Chains A and B, each alone.
Chain A
Amino acid sequence: MSAGDYIGFAISASLFATLFGATGVYVLRTLTLALEGHYEFKGDSLTKRSRLAGFARFIIWAVLAATAWSFFIDWIVFEDLEFAFTALAVRLQVVIEILSHLSDN
């Protein structure tokens, strides 16, 4: 990898960390409220149903974060951006499959 590649990697990795870090705080907050709601809200109610959406947000965040990590790991280890993108495309297809299955359920 050239120096320019390393700079590009550093910038995109920083953007990734900032984006997922900021959304992660929000996701963790909603996950906490969902977990507390799961134990606290006795019986079925509309509020409980809306709270439990926090679980779905967390799963979506975790799947996307893991996929993004895998891209950066491929890029830095194999030092090949094209290969990393190809592997990411394959993985994203799997992710879309998983998310569509989850939305069915």
Chain B
Amino acid sequence: MREGDIGAATETPARPKEHGPWGRRIDERLHRKEYRQQADEDQRHSTRFFPCPSCGADLRFDPGTANMICAHCGTEAEVPHVDDAVAQLENCYHFYLGKDTGAMAEEEAPSIDCNGCGASIEFHPDEHSRICPFCDGAIVGDVRMQRRIVPQAVLPFKLIEQEAQEAMRHWLKSRWFAPNDIADEAKADHFHGIYVPFWTYDAYTDTDYTGARGRRVGSGKNRRTVWTNVSGNVTGGFDDVIVSGSKSVSAEFKDALAPWPLRELETYQTEFLAGFRAENHLIGLKEGFAKAQVYMRAVITDWIKRDIGGQRQRINSTYTRFSKETFKHILVPVWITHYDFARKTYRLSVNGHTAKAYGERPFSLWKLIAGTTAMMLGAGVIGFLVSAVPWAG
């Protein structure tokens, strides 16, 4: 493959002319060889291996740039620019739901399912060490080609592994009530750069509700709430409600690593994924929208309470109509690692675009006890002030 041809579609070479019995045999051999080379190249391309034009080693996407780089000889190759409009394209939810994802483009990727956490992760058949990046467990099983929906957009990695390590150290240092030496002692084996599938949903909502507005009257023992029945309608739109398409990246991690700068999405190209793993989505379009609706309904509840007004609110019934539902299927970059501290393993992730880190963390029991003692003393001072002693004269 020549420089500049990276990612370009390649065609099967035309069958050469036949020249007599000998010539024909040679031509056929040549043809078979060329065809095999082409097939190998296509295979490498579909499994996202891009050979360096200089040395033949694998090129990998260089985070923070628009280039691919050869780790062996340093040769750089530009990722071809593709129209960015596709990245921001909103797809009609009902159109694709009706087709049950059959209308979405699919691709095959060599993947393996983790028995421990259930993640479906990309692995090359030649890789000997198969450790699940999500749960750190050894994976036993065969790599097989799995079909998955081609994402329309990808948020490329901006951080290199060292920057992710720095983000982790900084995050650990800033934890309250954490052991003093955690930032120095926490040992992360290796960071895995993974593209995690996300769904983003837009919708317009129109909600009818019935409820009651509460007003407090009286004082002391006679204090009570007087309720007045109310009904009304609230409307509003949601833009880019993000749902993880992965069962391994929980809602907690997804929310903590936010914001995801969706304006910087690039149209999906396999070159962005070179050198990184991609997780196959396990949460489908419909299931993802159901999760988005849980969040939307919580926000709609706030809208209704605000609409009811008064001192207290009661919601008896709601009926929400969703319309103009659209979605995007994207890949976002996450550095995932596990660190060991005091013989326990903690999971930590870093947003591969913004360097925001989040993870599980240990607490120092002694610090918590000291903090609780201080809280008890503080409560004691307040207890003294509200007791009868200062007022006894």
Contacts and interface: CB of A to CB of B under 8 A. Distances in A.
Interface of A: 17, 20-21, 24-25, 27-29, 32, 35-36, 40-49, 62, 65-74, 77-78, 83, 87, 91, 93, 97, 104
B256 A40 contact: yes
Q: How large is the interface on B (under 10, 10 to 19, 20 to 34, 35 or more residues)?
A: 35 or more
B15 interface: no
B237 interface: no
B255 A36 contact: no
A32 B389 contact: no
Contact of A73 (B220, B312, B371, B387): B387
SS of A interface (majority) = helix
B111 to A, nearest CB: 28
B368 interface: yes
Given A47-B255, A48-B255, A67 B383 contact: yes
Interface of B: 175-177, 220-221, 223, 251-252, 255-256, 258-259, 294-295, 298-299, 311-312, 358, 363, 365, 368-369, 371-373, 375-376, 378-380, 382-384, 386-389, 392
Given A24-B375, A73-B387, A74-B387, A45 B382 contact: no
Contacts of B258: 41-43, 45
B259 A66 contact: no
A56 to B, nearest CB: 16
5 smallest CB-CB distances across A and B, nearest first, come from A69-B383, A65-B379, A24-B372, A70-B387, A45-B255
A83 B392 CA distance: 13
Interface of B is mostly: helix
Contact of B382 (A28, A66, A72): A66
Contacts of B380: 66, 69
Nearest to B368: A25
Contact of A36 (B175, B375, B383): B175
Nearest to A39: B174
A47 B57 CA distance: 44
Contact of A66 (B368, B373, B383): B383
B174 to A, nearest CB: 9
Contact of A87 (B256, B372, B388): B388
19 contacts: A24-B375, A25-B372, A27-B372, A28-B177, A36-B175, A40-B358, A41-B255, A44-B299, A45-B255, A46-B295, A47-B251, A47-B252, A62-B378, A66-B386, A68-B383, A69-B387, A70-B383, A70-B388, A93-B221
A20 B177 contact: no
Given A69-B379, A74-B388, 19 more contacts: A21-B369, A21-B376, A24-B372, A29-B368, A32-B176, A32-B363, A35-B176, A43-B258, A45-B295, A46-B251, A46-B295, A47-B256, A62-B379, A65-B379, A66-B383, A70-B386, A83-B388, A97-B223, A104-B312
